[in-house]
Amino acid sequence: MSFAKILAAIMKPTTPRTTAQLRDDLGKIDMAALESRVAELELERRGLLLRGTDADVLKNKQALDAASLDVERGQVATEELTRLIAEAEAREAAGRGSAAGRREARRDLRPDRHSDGRPAGPLR
């Protein structure tokens, strides 16, 4: 599967993803492998320029251009996923905080004991 297809699946807009899901997607982007492919193709190109046909050089150039685009896409996707992770962390923290805040507010609204001294019942 090409990197562009993998990237499309990762960046496909869906319902808000959790931090864990986003981190998993970020882990699927192997920048070292993408950059290594560009380096391999550049080395191959040097040899083809000296010993290859024009067709061989042009075929290599097309592959090198595609690999270079994959590196750029990987960099942009990494930045975007990092931004989305920060947003998800803030959203998740706010969700935890608001749930705790609601519980605390309910405690403040309800006394622990009735006016006659009996313990109050559980929260509903």
What is the chain's pLDDT, residue by residue, as a tens digit (124 residues)?
A: 567 777 777 777 667 788 998 999 899 999 999 999 999 999 999 999 999 999 999 999 999 999 999 999 999 999 999 999 999 999 888 887 766 555 555 555 555 666 676 776 665 5
Residue 107 in domain: no
Q: Pick the closest to residue 10 from 30, 26, 34 (CA basis).
A: 26
pLDDT at 56: 97
Q: Pick the closest to residue 20 from 89, 79, 66, 103 (CA basis).
A: 89
Question: What is the extent of the structural domain holding 75?
Answer: 16-87
pTM over 0.95: no
Residue 121 in domain: no
| Overall number of domains in the chain | 1
117 backbone φψ class: left, alpha, beta (φ>0; ψ -120 to 50): left
Residue 2 in domain: no
Residue 7 in domain: no
Residue 109 in domain: no
Residue 29 in domain: yes
